[in-house]
A and B are shown apart, each in its own frame.
Chain A
Amino acid sequence: MNVGLYVWQRLTAALMVPLVLLHVVVIFYATRKGLTAADILARTRGSLAWASFYGAFVVAVAVHAAIGVRNVLAEWSPLKSRDAGILAGAFSVLLFLLGGRAVVAVVLP
């Protein structure tokens, strides 16, 4: 892993600590009486705050997870570092697109 990827992985990790903690708190809150789509969407639809929260989460995780996957592929698979980077880059794009779609799905009124 080069210095740039190392710094990006640590930066996104630091950003995600409060995001993960709040996410877990929300999971506990949301499941207190059973999880329903109506409750979830009533909380998120039209909310700029939740759009920003989940949007930042998606961007950070798309970067962080891809760097981790790249490291695993480079160290544990026969792939060359460059090919591991290409696959990880594709995975990052996949997470960004699917994550962005999920945020739009729960936030748009």
Chain B
Amino acid sequence: MTALAHRQSVLWIAALVHRLSGLALAIFLPFHFLTLGLAIEGEASLEKFLRWSDQPLVKLAESGLIFLLMVHMLGGMRVFLIENLAWHDRQKELAAVAAAVAALVAFILLARIL
């Protein structure tokens, strides 16, 4: 077993996804706040941005953000369970369900807005 063998574990990948999704959301947040802040200049400024965001690539990115938000929240709930409840053997299944639910929510949103 090599020193990096643990990196093939589903739970190591889940921890990495949790960290990277959190980092991506942290980078996104200031831009999210800046765009909402456009409403200070008036409804027209916000509307102009929203019409720009109608582009398919932007909508794809928005769905990606919903995936990141959901997978980070569900991954965080999994951490809560590990830290506060007795250990059980279904950790890998929980991590997989978190990713699957996040992907499903993001896909449904994409299908609605495209």
What residues make up the interface of A, taking CB atoms closer than 8 Å to B?
10, 13-14, 16-17, 20-21, 23-24, 27-28, 31-32, 35-38, 40-41, 58, 61, 65, 68-69, 72, 91, 94-95, 98-99, 101-102, 104-106
Contact = CB atoms under 8 A, between A and B. Distances in A.
A99 B80 CA distance: 26
Given A20-B73, A32-B112, A91 B36 contact: no
A38 B112 contact: no
A106 B73 contact: no
A44 B53 CA distance: 20
A83 to B, nearest CB: 18
Contacts of A35: 50, 53
Nearest to A88: B26
B89 interface: no
B19 interface: yes
28 contacts: A10-B80, A13-B76, A16-B73, A20-B73, A21-B73, A23-B69, A24-B69, A24-B70, A28-B112, A31-B109, A31-B113, A36-B50, A37-B39, A38-B43, A40-B39, A40-B46, A61-B29, A65-B22, A68-B22, A72-B23, A95-B33, A98-B29, A98-B34, A98-B37, A99-B33, A102-B37, A104-B40, A105-B37
Q: How large is the interface on B (under 10, 10 to 19, 20 to 34, 35 or more residues)?
A: 20 to 34
